[in-house]
Amino acid sequence: MKHILMLAWLVVLTACGADQTAPLQGSMAGDTTGSQKTFQWKMVTSWPKNYPGLGTGPEYFARQVEAMSAGRLKIHVYGANELVPALEVFDAVSNGTAEMGHSGAYFWKGKVPASVFFTSVPFGLTAQEMNAWLYHGGGMALWEEAYAPFGLIPLAGGNSGVQMAGWFNREINSLNDIKGLKMRIPGLGGEVFQRAGGEAVTIAGGELFTAMQTGVIDATEWVGPWNDKAFGLHRVAKYYYYPGWHEPGSTMELTVNKKAFDSLPADLQAIVRNAARAANQNMLDEYTAHNNAALKELVEKDGVQLRKLPDDVLARLRELSEQVLEEQAAADPMSGKVYASFKAFRANVKTWHAVSEQAYIEAR
């Protein structure tokens, strides 16, 4: 009887223990893994708050992250100059002032020479080709390697597609018309422009209208009709040139502070990466959907003169672009490594697209 009573008592204790400890174990597991912890992040950008495409892209990303994480990761987006200046996003995320940033990699050429390849290079890859190289051609691994010394994780965060060559206050009929022209054009495109006889400067987007209006610059490239009209560039320049030889498929970047990223549980890390993939495609879709309507309005309503750059000008710019790319690759080991991958992928995809995308568009 004594043994029977002891056994019964143990059964009761076990049952009660199971009932009492089951919820506690779940709570402890949540605390241990961080799965129930909430995070509040800041994102700084190089664009005006809610500016079409570039500015709304990071907002879209933040909304996707919050929805997919059920509110466990909330990201407050700051426009250019709200928390840090437009061209200090890289440093702000690297030093931990903000957990994330949204900008263009080619702005950081002075810090990371190879960064120019991860936005867009003259006569380089289109948006579709850039995505293929980054995600399936080794480009993303190289990007991560280039940013690792700065404690940053890069992610593709949008693409504008093929841009416009820019706004000019005089016609471009030959290479002579470029000589002495002062133009806002960053990255490798700016170096090519200078070799063609122009003067390249880097100015944040929010300052372009005033710079053109006051004659600080004679020409500027920005993005394309949708964004350019929003800035009112048609009111300070008469001639609108295409194609965007300097930026055929400009990838915007999301940078993440590595320490902040590592502090997230695995599921939130996956959410950040996949939300970036969604934002990257969504921005390209937006530009494709809105650019033509904006261009039509610029030409038909605002009287903008749409012009194609002369073939001989484009041919010379292409020659100079190859020179600049080769010199960039030779001057910096990481640039050389990235360019080798970029160049090989471009050659292969050009061959394929000649009989697919390009051939179809010509036939259509």
Neighbours of 7 (CB within 10 A): 10
Rounded to whole angstroms, the Cα distance separating 177 from 59 reads: 40
CB 183 within 8 A of CB 217: yes
pTM of the model: 0.87
User: Please, how many CA atoms are within 13 Å of residue 321, restricted to the half-sphere of its CB?
Assistant: 19
pLDDT of residue 1: 44
Rounded to 5 degrees, what are φ and ψ at 94? -65, -40
Give every CB contact of residue 5 below 8 A, 6+ residues apart in sequence.
none
Which stretches of 67-226 are assigned E, i.e. beta strand?
Answer: 73-78, 100-103, 152-159, 166-168, 182-184, 199-201, 219-220
pLDDT of residue 36: 83
Rounded to whole angstroms, the Cα distance separating 240 from 63 reads: 35
CB 256 within 8 A of CB 272: yes
Query: Left, alpha or beta for 183 (phi > 0: left; psi -120 to 50: alpha)?
Result: beta
DSSP code of residue 309: P
pLDDT of residue 34: 53
pLDDT of residue 204: 87
According to DSSP, the β-strands at 251-257 and 152-159 are antiparallel
Token pair for 362: 């010509």
pLDDT of residue 35: 63
pLDDT of residue 349: 98
Token pair for 249: 């498929």
Rounded to whole angstroms, the Cα distance separating 332 from 339 reads: 10
Token pair for 125: 């890859």
Q: Kind and range of the H or E element at 316?
A: helix 311-331
Q: What is the largest CA-CA distance in the chain?
A: 110
What angle, rounded to 10 degrees, do the helices at 333-354 and 127-136 form? 120
Architecture of domain 39-162+249-288: 3-Layer(aba) Sandwich (3.40)
Rounded to whole angstroms, the Cα distance separating 302 from 297 reads: 7
pLDDT in tens, the chain (364 residues): 445 444 444 443 444 443 333 332 222 333 434 568 999 999 999 999 999 999 999 999 999 999 999 999 999 999 999 999 999 999 999 999 999 999 999 999 999 999 999 999 999 999 999 999 999 999 999 999 999 999 999 999 999 999 999 999 999 999 999 999 999 998 899 999 999 999 999 888 889 999 999 999 999 999 999 999 999 999 999 999 999 999 999 999 999 999 999 999 999 999 999 999 999 999 999 999 999 999 999 999 999 999 999 999 999 999 999 999 999 999 999 999 999 999 999 999 999 999 999 999 999 9
Report how far apart the first and last C-alpha atoms of the chain are (Å, whole number): 93
DSSP code of residue 52: T
CB 66 within 8 A of CB 272: no
Give every CB contact of residue 271 below 8 A, 6+ residues apart in sequence.
65, 68, 69, 73
